[in-house]
Amino acid sequence: MPELTLAGPTLAEFERARVVVSQVAEVTPMESSRFLADLLGAPVYLKCENLQRTGSYKIRGGFNRISQLTDEEKSRGVVAASAGNHAQGVAFAARELGIAATIFMPVGVALPKLQATRHYGAEVVLRGHSVDEALRTAAEFAATTGAVFIPPFDHPDVVAGQGTLGLEILDQVPDLQTVIVPIGGGGLISGVASALKQKFARDGRIVRIIGVQAENAAPYPISLRNGVSTEITISPTIADGIAVNKPGLLNFEIVQQAVDEVITVSDDDIARAMLVLLERAKLVVEPAGAVSVAAILTGQISSTGPTVAILSGGNIDPLVMERVISRGLAASDRYLKLRLMLPDRPGQLARIAELISEANANVVEVLHTRHGRNALISDVEIELSIETRGPEHVQRVLRHLIDAGYEPRVDF
């Protein structure tokens, strides 16, 4: 079959990168998911890059890029900027190759990511309050010191390294039909899509590549509509690992050529996906790494054959994990907050607890105040946190309270 010509690395370059990357990267597990397969109506596999060394796929691109440096460039050291996964990947790669690394991270970066980056031997400098500020400072550092800047996604060597994941996936699921890939700047999806599309074209086969972004940080859909890499203003999202305001230029060109569709998911969708992965697959996945599963849960993916969802990373602060789990429970209607106005007399709280018990729900927290803004002088306001078992159970709890004469207000 004729070769497929795409921007960026050739299939031969992806194959060469695979040999290089294999020096440090693990062949991560490919786990099947019966739960997700039942939802999709086709076999679903989870590519567990959350179990990769340094906790994400980033080690692939970082190591491949640094390995291509000349001896003279290596002697000058490398510099990078990141809030987490890229920082750890570059720090680890530099340590393995015996190169000095300076990593700029924003002030307030999650402590586990900061500690891990330092543990890999890099000099960490906290600068600015966003990754963009850290990137600007890293570029200035490279210009003044001669250190080689290692970009997070927009470079052929980085793309080639990330694309080794696509070749690995094909080894593990040879009859692959669809791959779902998280997108930030586009390093991972451009590598995976290019490697797989070229490989499949050579074999006369077809594979679908679907990208997923967090809806609060999604420059790819509008860029694809505009036909040019477009900068957006991003809003806060729990998926900070893919919160990039503009596609990489090379990455965007490859995505235009090789990616079939890009969709978005909400923070609630992501939290729900993380909860599913934790409960059903026993996997800890960071928000950015769970967007591929969120896309399946929201019904935006259609596939009739083997489908792989890439779990791109597992680096998450335990404190953030706690908040995200709570959000996932609420998004799944398994955690209900509601407010009630009650007459300020003995026995009312006990009556409410009894009604909730009759509805087979469990109260986990109660806040009681006489100072609610809408409370009459003879009333009190209570806020209840209740464990429930899904949407139907929530409605039963609310109906039971209403039938008893109360007016519950759900607190979103």
Catalytic residue status for 282: no
Nearest CA-CA partner of 221 in 207, 235, 211? 211
Among 67, 292, 312, 332, the one annotated catalytic: 312
* Number of CB atoms found within 10 A of residue 382's CB: 17
As a three-state string, the secondary structure of the chain is CCCCCCCCCCHHHHHHHHHHHCCCCCCCCEEECHHHHHHHCCCEEEEEHHHCHHHECHHHHHHHHHHCCCHHHHHHCEEEECCCHHHHHHHHHHHHHCCCEEEEECCCCCHHHHHHHHHCCCEEEECCCCHHHHHHHHHHHHHHHCCEECCCCCCHHHHHHHHHHHHHHHHHCCCCCEEEEECCCCHHHHHHHHHHHHHHHHHCCCCEEEEEEECCCCHHHHHHHHCCCCCCCCCCCCCHHHCCCCCCHHHHHHHHHHCCEEEEECHHHHHHHHHHHHHHCCCCCCHHHHHHHHHHHCCCCCCCCCEEEEECECCCCHHHHHHHHHHHHHHCCCEEEEEEEEECCCCHHHHHHHHHHHCCCEEEEEEEECCCCCCCCCEEEEEEEEECCCHHHHHHHHHHHHHCCCCCEECC
Q: Please give the structure tokens belonging to residue 202.
A: 């050579």
44-48/78-81 β-pairing = unpaired
**Residue 199, Cα to own-chain centre: how many angstroms?**
26
How many CB atoms lie under 10 A from the CB of residue 355?
Answer: 16
Is 197 annotated as catalytic? no
**Residue of 47, 58, 197, 199 marked active site:** 58
Which positions are catalytic?
58, 312
